[in-house]
Amino acid sequence: MSVHNAGFRPLLVNEFAKRAVETLVANGATLRDPEDMSMPDMGGGCPGRRAADWPLVPGDIRNIPSFEFLRDAEVDVLAGGPPCQPFSLGGAHKGTGDERNMFPEMFRAVREMRPKAVICENVRGLLRPSFEPYFNYIIREMEMPFIQRAPGATWEEHDAVLQAASRKSFSDPSERYVVDPIPVNAANYGVPQIRQRVIIVAFRSDLGVNWERHRPKEEFSLEALRRSMYDGTYWKRHDDVPGIDGVRESVMANLPPVPLNLDLDDGTKPWRTLRDAIAGIDDNEGKRLPDVPLEAVHGRLTVGDVPDHVGWPGARVYTGHTANELDRPAKTVKAGVHGVPGGESVMRHDDPNFDGSGYRYMTVRETARVMTFPDDWSLAGPRGEKMRQLGNAVPVRLGEVFAKAVRAALDDAEGLA
């Protein structure tokens, strides 16, 4: 969705997870045979439906024999979030580890379709010092995807080949990419969620793209959120919330002392909070979600006419699973290996006596808003599977910020050509 919203038209979409495939189909995607090597329809699709007519190949990407049929389309961008597990040097040494690592498939797609740009999202854990050698290897592979790993070679042996090649000049710049790995916190880009990730952006070197000119800047900050609380603008946005004056008093009592630079505006906007998401931002601007009453929680009832805004019982907090606070960005939405995770899905209620504990589970729709999906985006499956899909997704706004920047950089490069 992010890439589509940035003005790119998907020519091919792949999804492995069964329920996620159902979600894409429910939103208008068209199933496509992985063996079909014909050029996808270049028509404009159906306006108003974000996934309308997306050619969707379900299942394992390794079942797609080739991407070369897309080369004549002069693909602008290849975007994806390949799983890279296990994230340990020990695991990366093993064949079973390689089987679960889909970066080789991304590099195969790059070689076969030769896109102008690549956008890749992955977990921030890849930047930990213990993973640094393997992460650097991934970056070198993206820089030189046409130097393929020899059959039976370890990643270390292939990395040595890549390092040697990097010291030589390339005769064909279209076979090399300029790569920029960017650590990000989604909250700094307008997502109402603390989500630490790494975005890897690459451009084909023969295009002469000036990425630095368009590289997204962090436009939102915690400092600006605190300033907006001190000067009252944050609370004014929520002055229609019942009991907000008492909430404000409690939150302000726990803020750090008034900063000396309260009047200093560094140009950033306030971090968006869980309360902001519920009130409605971006595509959902002005569409406040209705409160979830106790009877809806106990009865698992839908509240209002918003899809997936359903109460859920049993919320609690315990060691290692603290709740979301309404007046901060939400915690990272996680997929959960065994379904809905613990405290990541629990929020502290404005009423400290709500349900006897002061907590309740977030609804699926509230979680979707934290991931910046519009309310008209349908989700398939039971609650746990919907939450898993959201945890596995890239926040729409974060992806869109980077996709729009890539488009602007490509447009500039083509205009100068």
Q: Going by C-beta distance under 8 Å and a sequence separation of 6 or more, which residues neighbour residue 4?
A: 10, 50, 51, 54
Q: Are 305 and 293 in contact (CB under 8 A)?
A: no
- Which long-range contacts (C-beta less than 8 Å, at least 24 apart) are formed by 343-351? 343/317, 343/318, 345/387, 346/315, 346/316, 346/317, 346/321, 347/274, 347/323, 348/323, 348/324, 350/241, 350/242, 350/243, 350/244, 350/247, 350/326, 351/243
Rg (CA), the chain: 23
Q: Which of 84, 202, 278, 398 is catalytic?
A: 84
Look up residue 416 and give its two tokens: 């100068």
Nearest by Cα to 413 from 212, 252, 268: 212
Mark whether 84 is an active-site residue: yes
**DSSP state for residue 318 in the 8-state scheme:** B
DSSP helix/strand/coil, 243: coil
Q: Are 142 and 107 in contact (CB under 8 A)?
A: yes
Query: What's the CA angle centered on 250, arms 196 and 366, to 5 degrees?
Result: 45
- Tell me the three-class secondary structure of 128-185, residue by residue: CHHHHHHHHHHHHHHHCCCCCCCCCCCHHHHHHHHHHHHCCCCCCHHHCEEEEEEEEE
State the burial class of residue 198 (Cβ atoms within 10 Å of its Cβ: 0-12, 13-18, 19+): middle
Q: Which residues are catalytic?
A: 84
